[in-house]
Amino acid sequence: MCLPMTIEIFVDADACPVKDEVYKVAGRHGLKTHVVANSFMRVPRDALIELVLVGAGLDVADDWIAERAGKNSVVVTNDIPLASRCVKAGAQVMAATGKPFTEASIGMALATRNLMDQLRSTGEIIGGPRPFAPKDRSAFLSALDAAVMRLKRAGY
């Protein structure tokens, strides 16, 4: 007998500004949440929230998430290459601002990221993304709840 898949949330946690919002939505829906990081961080004491400590190194946390994310998953990351891998696996993927990464948008996001990396490396562009704002937190909460509801409607 095959057990039904349950919805899981994966958080690329080292630089994630919306972990508390993830815990709130996950708690409301009773979802298993994997908080994946290279170093220790506090997470709520909850049987459904798991801190996954991975080794130091380039893309170790990304690899852990990408190997496990699938059609029953929501992945929270600002890392566009990781987002691309998870979109290809069928996961619902979003940035901390609530911006979704989809099959239709991930190609442009990767191209823009690569162009910006190239421009920064030549010194033509200095700085990074705009500061995280309260409206981003609100947009994220709405987007995460919507992604979970889509998965529930799909039968996960």
Give tens-digit pLDDT for 42-65. 999 999 999 999 998 889 999 999
CATH number reported for the structural domain that contains residue 16 in this entry = 3.40.50
CA distance 59 to 104: 24
Strands (E), 54-137: 73-76, 92-94, 100-101
- Does the pTM surpass 0.85? The reply is yes
Domain hosting 123: range is: 8-153
DSSP-assigned letters across all residues of 12-55 = E-TT-TTHHHHHHHHHHHT-EEEEEESS-----S-TTEEEEE--
The answer to whether the beta carbons of residues 9 and 26 sit under 8 Å apart is yes
Residue 101 lies in a domain: yes
> Long-range contacts for 56-65 (Cβ within 8 Å, ≥24 apart)?
61/12, 61/13, 61/14, 61/36, 61/37, 62/12, 64/36, 65/10, 65/12, 65/34, 65/36
Residue 68 lies in a domain: yes
Residue 3 lies in a domain: no
Residue 2 lies in a domain: no
| Predicted confidence (pLDDT) per residue in 71-124, tens digit | 999 999 999 999 999 999 999 999 999 999 999 888 788 777 777 777 777 877
Residue 37 lies in a domain: yes
The answer to whether the beta carbons of residues 111 and 32 sit under 8 Å apart is no
Domain count, the chain: 1
Residue 1 lies in a domain: no
